[in-house]
Structure 1
Amino acid sequence: MPVTAPPAAPRPWLADPPPLVRGYRRTVPLPVRRAVVAVTGAGLRRAAMRGLCGLSAASGALRLRWARRRLRRAGVAGDGRIVIADRYGARVATLAPSPTPLFARAENLRLVCEALDAARLDHFVVRCYSNVASAVGVRADQRGAVVAALSALCAREAGYVSLPGRRLRAGSRLRPGGTRRAWRRLADAPVVRFTRFHASPGAGLVLGVAHGCDIEFWEPGTLGGERLLLAPRFNRTTASVPLVGEPVRASDQLFTRLAPASGWRPGPLVRTRPEFITRLPDEVRFPIDVVYTWVDGSDPQWQRRRAAAAGEGYHAQADNAARYANRDELRYSLRSLHLYAPWVRHIYIVTDRQVPDWLAESHPGITVVDHHDIFDDPSVLPTFNSHAIETRLHHIDGLAEHFLYFNDDVFLGSPVTPQDFFLANGVSKFFPSRALIPLAPVGTCDVPVSAAGKNNRTLLEGRFGTTVTQKMKHTPHALRTSVLAEIEREFPEAVSATMASRVRSTSDISLPSSLHHYYAFLTGRAVPAQLRYDYFDLAQPTIRARLARLLRSRHCQAFCLNDTVSSDHDLADQLALLHPFLDAYFPLPSPLERAVTRQETRQPCPSPSLFP
């Protein structure tokens, strides 16, 4: 019997709008909708929305019940599987303890290759452009046998077939692959995608068609007298391979940039052709680490140290409680790394004699670094100035030359690759913001980020004769330890003064979040780039609706949940908003969380419409 997801608890701000509401918004012009709002009260509109949500929930439960019965009769639902439903219909998903995009991609590829191997059909893994999906080439003149093998696979593994695409736009595009009807619709398709859905227990996380395996039908042909197989679409390596060629085995790490760099974490071997195992010039072959700075402002011992520190921040933002508030963001940021950046080699968490109680310190992939381990002048400790701590990050013992610096309120929102942050020749990327650094001299009215930006600008003007005006986005910062060390040698007074400042000061510089990027750019070691990113100020009144949209679309590669002006009362309200959102976006504990904590972690109510 299938394990069916229980109905979700009411969470209207996290759920998709009811179908009737979506249809109303699509068909009724905006001026008319505004006129309706003008003549109706908020209470009436809320009542109507509650009614539509209730109708939608009832109809959804009925559709799910019918779909479950239909799938059971079809024989595809069984032990270890779960029936899920979204706006496109019902699906059967295979349960996995902790699925990730890389896992779902590898499983779909494995199933296809094993089915073709069992049928003794020639095939080869192709170096396609997607990093979250895979591709296998087969001979087009063997299409009948390939379809028979894949049809049997779909019937056995609850697989689906469709045309490949970035998003599933219509339910008709995805059909159970064990039926003749599905393959008749794809009879002339040069590329067909196989998908087995993977879900965590409770369907808190469902990985679907984005991580399928594409079957490419390569047409036999002749070019220059040589008999070849011609590719049906572009790939990273070659437009043709010999019609008859010896297969080779290669690590699957070559076929996706999501996989860890080859050599330090081996991957499974796959069958391919020699043309697809060439080393490409854009491959990132060096290790990349991650560094976090973290503080728990609710820790009584830390609060006593903070109270005893001489001096106060010059600006309200420097002393606001929101700067030190622990909303458990680090836990969820690490979950985002586990899901969307499995290529990271090692993670360092820089703290002041604090360790999160849920952290699995014994895990080989993480190291907690105390301030005393990186500050060579203990007289400046304790420090409560993030700018000061950031001047010492490159002194972490064992840190890779290339690393990403995260604040704990920065999250990955979808899969990223090393190439999103570094070029293969080692050059780092940075992400300028439209926000500007004011041109006026530094003053006590400047917010800390502006004051530090102005001081950075002064240093760069003196060294390079150029004036920088843009701030940086609150993304992961791609850094090089050698560049940071060079800046420390080039501007020793500014770095030392910032390091010695226990609280934020108008004389601070911001080393990893701004100065590094401009200095590296002006010395030919960094380039500006783009990252799908958004910034969310938790104090803004529209935050609830914006988070709902982010959760539904998952369009960002990175996002920041930040706040510098809230009161204690605001923090309590934000926690009530933030935790359900983060639980829904990152429902599964990462391996960096203690086993007891993972068992105790509340599994969120399933939201099957959310397919990362």
Structure 2
Amino acid sequence: MATLDRPNAEPDAQTRANSPTVTTDTTAHSDSAADADSFSYDIAHDVASAALGEDFTDEVSLDSGLIPTLSLSPAPELVLVTPDARNRRFDRDDLVVRKGEIALINGHFTPHESMVKDLLAVHDALTKAGIDFLLVRGDHNRPVIAVDRKRRKQLTRVLAAAFANEPFYAKPVDGPPAAPFLLADGVLATHKKASVFRVYRPRIEPIGRLRYGAQTAFQFELWRFGEEEIIAPVENALMRTRLPRSEARETTIELYGRTWLTLQNMFDDLASDVSFDIDLVFSWVDGSSSDFQLERAKRMRDYVVGDGDDSDARFRQIDELKYALRSVYMFAPWIRRIFIATDSPAPIWLADHPRVTIMRSEDFFADPTVLPTHNSHAVESQLHNIPGLAEHFLYSNDDMFFGRPVGPELFFSPGGVTKFVEARTRIGLGENDPTRSGFENAARVNRALLRGRFGKVTTRHLEHTPAPMRKSVMRELESVFPEDFARTAASRFRSATDISVTNSLYHYYGLMTGHAVAQTQVRSLYVETTLRAALRQMNRLRKRRDQDMFCLNDGSNPEISDEVRQAAVTEFLELYFPIVAPWERAGVATSAAPGSAWSVAALAMQAEFPTAGFAPALPPTEALPKVR
């Protein structure tokens, strides 16, 4: 086993690990530079993945579980790229200069995959040079490579040689504020005592202008390995800054297809880790299907529904589901499996994939004789019967999206307590009434049931965000209100007597029984896309990317034409979620390219900036969707 050298003592440098400040719309939110640089990972999940045989080689695997939680682009992105002579120093054609940094054109790496690629590159360079190092779990779960500080000069030379043709940067985060330095220049920092660095290759995706920088970096630290103690410049998940040598027991761990030297227990599950499996269930209807429209119209002849419940807006779709699933792939890689609850034909863009399952109603309704159904309340009441669904899961609609990398701790406590988000909107007075919308009626039915059970009154709706749930609590809830579950499951269209399990019966029941808590540490946005203000909201959201989650709701009282709405929403989704997910079928035409150096977008950039030296690179061996 390799052992790190033990240099003489040197005073340690302290640095502050910044955590992102995320709030609901009712509280203040910080968009400071410190928040923008915050980044968190759940490495414990990676260790579990490694134990299951998952591998990270040259092409980074999705199923890693390393959880980023950051704001990717807190400042407006007004200009995509600027040609610059600085990228001429590298003998390659896939570079641009962005915000003063030389950046790689990114076409298919998610934030997590980008970080892992950079981490592996440095691992291989140090291993080849014979420089010993440790892999450490950072204080905020950021992966850390720790190197003996007496090897600083050698380290600088090795990294400069290894990355002479790579735009690798090191950004000092301790000591005086400093700009990032190119490793190819043979400099880590001008401040000699700087010991903590964010190491990364900037990447920019040319379609949606999604960029990764220091916030998607791993951390590099210079430690002192003395005869009696080890001194780290900052604390990490397991250590204080000083560790007696007698307590430093080295071991190895397999992660990302590499063997790493580390400290014993460094990657064990912590009490604060959310380490259980989490699935996600989408409910979806292809309202554009002529068969669906005919069947629904035929069955509705004898039904009287509430305000807005027969609106086409409830069933219109413009491939929102594709982008909702992309948001999972890009920003929530810890999701184990995705279930799509639908009786519509599978969308043409969806390929067979082990992580995505189409779930028909007859496969999870306890009483299939009540089918078919056109009632989302009925579907929601049966989710706990989905075969193979994890105990802990999220429920979402196809108009709800993850807006930036989020972690499972946003939805669950380590013990499995669910965290829901209340809206500012009050339920209001009055009882359920056939003239009200199904949404408003269900909130009142829920309130009456909970008041009768607990003697307490619920006052607020929930935000339109993915809802965390547990199968066991749903079964308990059904045992408490069996008639209400059965009645709702049998209601083929929304009824004034329906319950809404996911919004909000489950969550307030959980709150009153100790299974759930209301949280305010999430930032979410609701956009009603049929209003004029929505165009401005979506434009701002795309530029800032400052929401954990958002909902693009299709309202029933439009101020703009459906053509304008569809065009605006489609363009927004293409730009916001340009990274194609592995479950999308190759060869299906889309209006946006994958956004890589070999994409249509890159060719367009080449035409616009002929002096920038773009030359489409060959794609990786994995098939990418073809663009017409």
Within 5 Å, give how 1:507-586 maps onto structure 2.
Answer: 507-529=497-519, 530-566=521-557, 570-586=561-577
8 Å contact from structure 1 (residues 533, 556) kept in 2 = yes
Shifted more, 281-290 versus 183-192: the winner is 183-192
Alignment match, 1:389: 379
Does the C-alpha gap of structure 1 residues 344 and 100 become closer, same or farther in structure 2, counting only changes over 3 Å? same
* 2:96 maps to which of 55, 60, 84: 84
Alignment match, 1:17: none
C-alpha separation in 2, matches of 1:510 and 1:120 = 61
Instruction: Confirm or deny that 1:71 pairs with 2:87.
Output: yes
C-alpha separation in 2, matches of 1:544 and 1:599 = 22
3-state SS in 2 of match to 1:285: coil
Alignment match, 1:358: 349
Instruction: Confirm or deny that 1:153 pairs with 2:162.
Output: yes
3-state SS in 1 of match to 2:287: coil
3-state SS in 1 of match to 2:461: strand
Equivalent pairs: percent with the same residue?
A: 34
Alignment match, 1:458: 448
Does the C-alpha gap of structure 1 residues 466 and 121 become closer, same or farther in structure 2, counting only changes over 3 Å? same
8 Å contact from structure 1 (residues 94, 196) kept in 2 = no
8 Å contact from structure 1 (residues 153, 159) kept in 2 = no
- 1:277-314 deviations in whole A, cap 9, x for unaligned? 33311222221111111001110111111011144453
TM, length-normalised to structure 2? 0.76
Q: 1:328, CA displacement in angstroms? A: 0.8
Q: 1:91, CA displacement in angstroms? A: 1.3
Does the C-alpha gap of structure 1 residues 564 and 401 become closer, same or farther in structure 2, counting only changes over 3 Å? same
Match of 2:152, as an amino acid? R
Instruction: Confirm or deny that 1:118 pairs with 2:128.
Output: yes
Structure 2 unaligned blocks of 5 or more: 1-77, 596-600, 606-628
C-alpha separation in 2, matches of 1:598 and 1:217 = 49
3-state SS in 2 of match to 1:277: coil
TM, length-normalised to structure 1? 0.78
Alignment match, 1:329: 320
Q: 1:200, CA displacement in angstroms? A: 5.7
C-alpha separation in 2, matches of 1:464 and 1:316 = 30
8 Å contact from structure 1 (residues 205, 588) kept in 2 = no
Number of matched pairs: 516
C-alpha separation in 1, matches of 2:441 and 2:382 = 20
C-alpha separation in 2, matches of 1:479 and 1:589 = 28
* 1:342 maps to which of 319, 323, 333: 333
- 1:69-93 deviations in whole A, cap 9, x for unaligned? 3322x2x241xx522233x225131
Q: 1:410, CA displacement in angstroms? A: 0.5
- 1:311-369 deviations in whole A, cap 9, x for unaligned? 44532321111110012110001001011111111111111242111111x21111111
Instruction: Confirm or deny that 1:496 pairs with 2:506.
Output: no
Alignment match, 2:194: 189
Alignment match, 1:320: 311
8 Å contact from structure 1 (residues 322, 567) kept in 2 = no
Does the C-alpha gap of structure 1 residues 569 and 203 become closer, same or farther in structure 2, counting only changes over 3 Å? closer
Does the C-alpha gap of structure 1 residues 320 and 268 become closer, same or farther in structure 2, counting only changes over 3 Å? farther
Alignment match, 1:272: 262
Shifted more, 106-115 versus 194-203: the winner is 194-203
C-alpha separation in 1, matches of 2:368 and 2:590 = 40
C-alpha separation in 1, matches of 2:332 and 2:362 = 29
Does the C-alpha gap of structure 1 residues 209 and 597 become closer, same or farther in structure 2, counting only changes over 3 Å? farther
Shifted more, 279-288 versus 376-385: the winner is 376-385
8 Å contact from structure 2 (residues 307, 435) kept in 1 = no
8 Å contact from structure 1 (residues 291, 406) kept in 2 = yes
- 1:229-270 deviations in whole A, cap 9, x for unaligned? 222223221114455956422244xxxxxxxxxxxxx86543
Alignment match, 1:209: 214
Q: 1:453, CA displacement in angstroms? A: 1.0
Q: 1:183, CA displacement in angstroms? A: 3.4
Does the C-alpha gap of structure 1 residues 599 and 124 become closer, same or farther in structure 2, counting only changes over 3 Å? farther
- 1:169-215 deviations in whole A, cap 9, x for unaligned? x9x723322225x5352433221121113456878654332222221
3-state SS in 2 of match to 1:539: coil
Within 5 Å, give how 1:117-266 maps onto structure 2.
Answer: 117-130=127-140, 133-164=142-173, 173-180=179-186, 182-198=187-203, 205-220=210-225, 227-239=228-240, 240-242=242-244, 247-252=250-255
Q: 1:460, CA displacement in angstroms? A: 0.8
C-alpha separation in 1, matches of 2:196 and 2:213 = 18
3-state SS in 2 of match to 1:137: strand
3-state SS in 1 of match to 2:219: strand
RMSD: 2.7
- 1:542-597 deviations in whole A, cap 9, x for unaligned? 21222122112211111111123146973221111011111111112211111222
Does the C-alpha gap of structure 1 residues 541 and 313 become closer, same or farther in structure 2, counting only changes over 3 Å? farther
C-alpha separation in 2, matches of 1:554 and 1:540 = 21
Instruction: Confirm or deny that 1:438 pairs with 2:450.
Output: no
8 Å contact from structure 1 (residues 134, 211) kept in 2 = no
8 Å contact from structure 1 (residues 355, 368) kept in 2 = yes
Does the C-alpha gap of structure 1 residues 123 and 242 become closer, same or farther in structure 2, counting only changes over 3 Å? farther
Match of 1:403, as an amino acid? F
3-state SS in 2 of match to 1:587: coil
More helix by share: 1
